[in-house]
Chain A
């Protein structure tokens, strides 16, 4: 699969499509590279996602030929929903924890513990207990589990134990599906690697079905452009390639909104992204045009993972949150009792409050007023007064969360002197509101925070726009140990003997960039490899006694998140 980069091409029929399949609505936009041609929002049918996508597509494709479309990007909640509905596949877990924490302190699902250990430098400190692996495999078979995750502590630095265990398991049950931790993530943090491996196996089959269904639906409409999915880190990945690690697509909704806000805000701006949805409001921090990544991976339900993700804060309040008042005390959310009263729902909501105040023009004004009147009685005021209090409550909740987010960002731990001394990044002064509820709520929150507010054109479909305009991302970490003469490319478990033991850090960076380019080519995004940056680079001299016995080099390179060039160029000045 290869992608054609539509350099500078506009007005010649090269179209991009972005689709965000959300819990309540499915949004779609059609872009000619530099401007929005059409946009649509339809209700999501939870049990027919392909149908929802097709209905949205039909709305935006009226004016063009399907063959004009060059690229389609989907952002999806399918993984989130699978997990929320407990529909993920059961997975057996075999751990090789070695010395350290008691595995039961990690809060992971029950696991078979097998003896065998590797240390922080990837050296074997206890051989793999092969009989233990076979016994665990037999026990899992007896439980009827055919999907097995095998994860060892520090196995990303030496995958031999995981590989041997996998081979042993497949020898006994050739039909089993075994995934190793080192193939899923290379970052330090064993329990997160376990969780990520587990989720990968638990969702891969369902995700594959979804991917096939989407491809079929899009092909049916005559769309033959390459299909991409958006990941939680705001990067796109070819749909086929995403089948390997479906869990990366979790939380692509907030990532889509964030990237949409980046596309719609002035280039290079620092701001807080506020996406006001039906029942949740998402917040993200964008610094100099670059969304802030979570320093560790995303939390997926009750599991902490290695999934690279923007540092998004979700607050359980939105335009559809239930509003209640009891003895003068007002609460907003976190639950939803249905659509807003002005749209025929059973309960007052912030949307109704905004309708009463005339901030929006949606649905039935009288229904909104009578719903708010009940709240007003309990608060001892009139419908306008009650509505103002609802909006203030919501805005102050959001403002409080923005403050918390700033505090977390400021208090992020650091491990080097220069990082402690570094000048603090100025706190952004701009709030960019996107999503359906933004036009009315974002200004209220901004004024509480003393920030400027921008609700750009197309804010309502910023998520679909963000999906349509996001560029691919990819990361690779290369670790080398010159005293052992070894290297490991962490994300794909490849490794070998180092030819040049005197390799400089610059040489290691060069090697990492070349390997990343090869992987990008393989994934069909080779044309973006030139954008790769070195994001982390360290070298430690290893000293024993008083002489240097070798060096440890560690380099991370990545193709960062960003907006497609045509759009940026057109909206640059």
Chain B
């Protein structure tokens, strides 16, 4: 992996820029995959029409003719690529349609282009979205089945040897799926700002959610009050997100670029503008962006996407003004500002204390950590019960086992026992995880026993009824 070493130095933090990194040379890679032949249902927000006007605007602007942009053709992600990120029950085939595999595969095309230094940065402007899809997938949650971002992160780590990665989720909804997948991973910093979970789906993303015991502080949630305008989001960005990123010094910054903070979005209540989004992108300088939500198909998406593409490509975005927007349309109320200041200072405090917090948690918990929880899948009306056990290891982030049982309309769905070996696993954890997987194959307590071995990039599915084991 000589290649990855070059990338690391290419992304060193010496160059100027608001986040401390300069823009590398080369065009911005773009994959535009509107999936014009796919919908959750005919009138669902996630339908064929969603990116139609965005296509019209981007094509009419002639952006793809500019030397600052390079358009790529999407491809299908393999089941193997998805297996690195998810435990799909009963199978990956059952949970991922071709549309999902193309959306996820698009991110991988851009990773390859970035690693070859063919592009300076890239934007997968694709649907369906992914950030509500968790580690375990029984069905669709919040319009998501497959977490495109996580598939991309695991590809970056497995194929290109990256280690420290930061994900910044700028969708209006809490990126609870991505948070779940990286909850115990100290090398992936997950930052999400979103409309306060007390007022919006999925009802999570509070300051207190800050990561598993071995990775405390590496999950940062910034709930924002409804109607927060550009100024508020930029305050959070400048005072918290950018300083934390500079401190964490990731090899790559990735952006879950949802666009539903827009003041016209029908599913949320924020007051962000196209200018606000573009300026955010310019400050954050993400290496790769993936579209998440955003459902104001006419009033927001054509403008926000155009402005983000321009910002990534270093083009002037100041002419992208929504027809019903003016710079003074929304102002930051003093009370909201005070609330944001308090959230920021609280989170900065947590960030600074992350190492002592991890030490304290280890001292208190010993060699393992167990939790039980319920996960609700709104789109598919599935209720899932999980029991999670994390090995707390001093040599590595520790392996995870999960027992999952779910029901849909009072009918039980297939159950699964899942074993996840982190890519940083120490030999002992890898050995023990393998043994646990074998034990559960014999135990016959679940319909499926699944192994996700990121260390060896080997992903197995054992079906108890037929005693058949297959490798993805």
Which A residues are in CB contact (< 8 Å) with B158? Answer: none
Q: Which residue of B lies closest to A304 (CB)?
A: B65
Residue tally, chain A, CB below 8 Å to B: 44
Q: Which of B63, B72, B315, B322 has the most chain A CB atoms inside 10 A of its CB?
A: B63
- The reply to whether B66 and A417 contact each other, CB–CB distance below 8 Å, is no
- The reply to whether B98 and A421 contact each other, CB–CB distance below 8 Å, is yes
Q: Which residue of A lies closest to B76 (CB)?
A: A420
Task: Please measure, in the bound complex, the distance between the C-alpha atom of A421 and the C-alpha atom of B37, giving whole angstroms.
Answer: 12
Q: Given the known inter-chain contacts A125-B323, A543-B43, please indicate yes or no for A100 contacting B98, CB distance below 8 A.
A: no
Q: Taking the complex as formed, is A296 at the interface, i.e. its CB lies under 8 A from any CB of chain B?
A: yes
- The reply to whether A542 and B49 contact each other, CB–CB distance below 8 Å, is yes
- The reply to whether A189 and B65 contact each other, CB–CB distance below 8 Å, is yes
Task: Please measure, in the bound complex, the distance between the C-alpha atom of A545 and the C-alpha atom of B295, giving whole angstroms.
Answer: 11
Task: Please measure, in the bound complex, the distance between the C-alpha atom of A102 and the C-alpha atom of B303, giving whole angstroms.
Answer: 13
Task: Tell me which residues from 335 to 385 in chain B have a Cβ below 8 Å from any Cβ of chain A.
Answer: none
Q: Which of B32, B48, B65 has the most chain A CB atoms inside 10 A of its CB?
A: B65
- The reply to whether A100 and B61 contact each other, CB–CB distance below 8 Å, is yes
Q: Which of B52-60, B84-92, B190-198, B414-422 contacts A (4 or more CB under 8 A)?
A: B52-60
- The reply to whether A541 and B321 contact each other, CB–CB distance below 8 Å, is no
- The reply to whether B318 and A102 contact each other, CB–CB distance below 8 Å, is yes
- The reply to whether A540 and B60 contact each other, CB–CB distance below 8 Å, is no
Which A residues are in CB contact (< 8 Å) with B321? Answer: 99
Which B residues are in CB contact (< 8 Å) with A417? Answer: 35, 37-38, 98-99, 102
- The reply to whether B57 and A100 contact each other, CB–CB distance below 8 Å, is yes
Task: Please measure, in the bound complex, the distance between the C-alpha atom of A548 and the C-alpha atom of B316, giving whole angstroms.
Answer: 36
- The reply to whether A420 and B74 contact each other, CB–CB distance below 8 Å, is yes
Task: Please measure, in the bound complex, the distance between the C-alpha atom of A318 and the C-alpha atom of B33, giving whole angstroms.
Answer: 40
- The reply to whether A120 and B74 contact each other, CB–CB distance below 8 Å, is no
Which B residues are in CB contact (< 8 Å) with A414? Answer: 73-74
- The reply to whether B43 and A106 contact each other, CB–CB distance below 8 Å, is no
Q: Which residue of B lies closest to A108 (CB)?
A: B62
Task: Please measure, in the bound complex, the distance between the C-alpha atom of A102 and the C-alpha atom of B313, giving whole angstroms.
Answer: 13
Q: Return the contact of B75 from the options A304, A420, A546 (Cβ within 8 A).
A: A420
Q: Taking the complex as formed, is B235 at the interface, i.e. its CB lies under 8 A from any CB of chain A?
A: no
Q: Return the contact of B52 from the options A119, A418, A540 (Cβ within 8 A).
A: A540
CB distance from A182 to the nearest CB of B (A): 13
Q: Return the contact of A99 from the options B47, B53, B320 (Cβ within 8 A).
A: B320
- The reply to whether B62 and A411 contact each other, CB–CB distance below 8 Å, is no
- The reply to whether A413 and B62 contact each other, CB–CB distance below 8 Å, is no
Q: Which residue of B lies closest to A154 (CB)?
A: B60
- The reply to whether B73 and A412 contact each other, CB–CB distance below 8 Å, is yes
Q: Given the known inter-chain contacts A101-B310, A189-B65, A420-B76, please indicate yes or no for A413 contacting B59, CB distance below 8 A.
A: no
Which A residues are in CB contact (< 8 Å) with B115? Answer: none
Which A residues are in CB contact (< 8 Å) with B322? Answer: 99
Q: Return the contact of A126 from the options B35, B56, B76, B323 (Cβ within 8 A).
A: B323
Q: Taking the complex as formed, is B457 at the interface, i.e. its CB lies under 8 A from any CB of chain A?
A: no
Q: Taking the complex as formed, is A538 at the interface, i.e. its CB lies under 8 A from any CB of chain B?
A: yes
Convert A244-285 into 0s and 1s, putting 1 for each residue whose CB lies closer than 8 angstroms to a CB of B.
Answer: 000000000000000000000000000000000000000000
Q: Taking the complex as formed, is A340 at the interface, i.e. its CB lies under 8 A from any CB of chain B?
A: no
CB distance from A108 to the nearest CB of B (A): 10
Q: Which residue of B lies closest to A106 (CB)?
A: B62
Q: Which residue of A lies closest to B36 (CB)?
A: A416
Q: Which residue of A lies closest to B325 (CB)?
A: A99
Q: Taking the complex as formed, is B293 at the interface, i.e. its CB lies under 8 A from any CB of chain A?
A: no
CB distance from A123 to the nearest CB of B (A): 9
Q: Taking the complex as formed, is B327 at the interface, i.e. its CB lies under 8 A from any CB of chain A?
A: no
Which A residues are in CB contact (< 8 Å) with B102? Answer: 417, 420
Which A residues are in CB contact (< 8 Å) with B266? Answer: 545
Q: Taking the complex as formed, is A188 at the interface, i.e. its CB lies under 8 A from any CB of chain B?
A: yes
Q: Which of A106, A121, A417, A538 has the most chain B CB atoms inside 10 A of its CB?
A: A417
Q: Return the contact of B303 from the options A99, A154, A411 (Cβ within 8 A).
A: A99
Which A residues are in CB contact (< 8 Å) with B75? Answer: 420
- The reply to whether A415 and B323 contact each other, CB–CB distance below 8 Å, is no
Which B residues are in CB contact (< 8 Å) with A416? Answer: 35-37
Q: Given the known inter-chain contacts A102-B316, A413-B71, A415-B36, please indicate yes or no for A121 contacting B43, CB distance below 8 A.
A: no
Q: Taking the complex as formed, is B306 at the interface, i.e. its CB lies under 8 A from any CB of chain A?
A: yes
CB distance from A206 to the nearest CB of B (A): 27
- The reply to whether B60 and A99 contact each other, CB–CB distance below 8 Å, is no
- The reply to whether A120 and B36 contact each other, CB–CB distance below 8 Å, is no
Task: Please measure, in the bound complex, the distance between the C-alpha atom of A413 and the C-alpha atom of B102, giving whole angstroms.
Answer: 13
CB distance from B380 to the nearest CB of A (A): 18
Q: Which residue of A lies closest to B60 (CB)?
A: A188
Q: Which residue of B lies closest to A194 (CB)?
A: B62
Q: Return the contact of A547 from the options B34, B43, B47, B298 (Cβ within 8 A).
A: B43
Which A residues are in CB contact (< 8 Å) with B303? Answer: 99
Q: Given the known inter-chain contacts A99-B303, A99-B323, A416-B35, please indicate yes or no for A541 contacting B99, CB distance below 8 A.
A: no
Task: Tell me which residues from 293 to 326 in chain A have a Cβ below 8 Å from any Cβ of chain B.
Answer: 296, 304
Which A residues are in CB contact (< 8 Å) with B31? Answer: 413
Q: Taking the complex as formed, is B319 at the interface, i.e. its CB lies under 8 A from any CB of chain A?
A: yes
CB distance from A555 to the nearest CB of B (A): 15
Q: Taking the complex as formed, is B302 at the interface, i.e. its CB lies under 8 A from any CB of chain A?
A: yes
CB distance from B108 to the nearest CB of A (A): 13
Q: Which residue of A lies closest to B58 (CB)?
A: A188
15 new A-B contacts at CB < 8 Å, known A101-B319, A413-B74, A417-B37 = A99-B321, A99-B323, A100-B57, A101-B316, A101-B320, A189-B59, A190-B60, A413-B72, A415-B35, A417-B99, A420-B74, A421-B98, A541-B42, A541-B47, A545-B266
Taking Cβ atoms with an 8 Å cutoff, the residues of B that contact A are 31-38, 42-43, 47-49, 52-53, 55-57, 59-63, 65-66, 71-76, 98-99, 102, 266, 298, 302-303, 306, 310, 315-316, 318-323
Please list 13 pairs of residues, one from A and one from B, whose beta carbons are closer than 8 Å in the complex, sorted by A's number: A100-B61, A101-B63, A105-B315, A106-B62, A120-B56, A188-B59, A189-B62, A413-B31, A417-B37, A420-B74, A543-B42, A545-B266, A546-B43
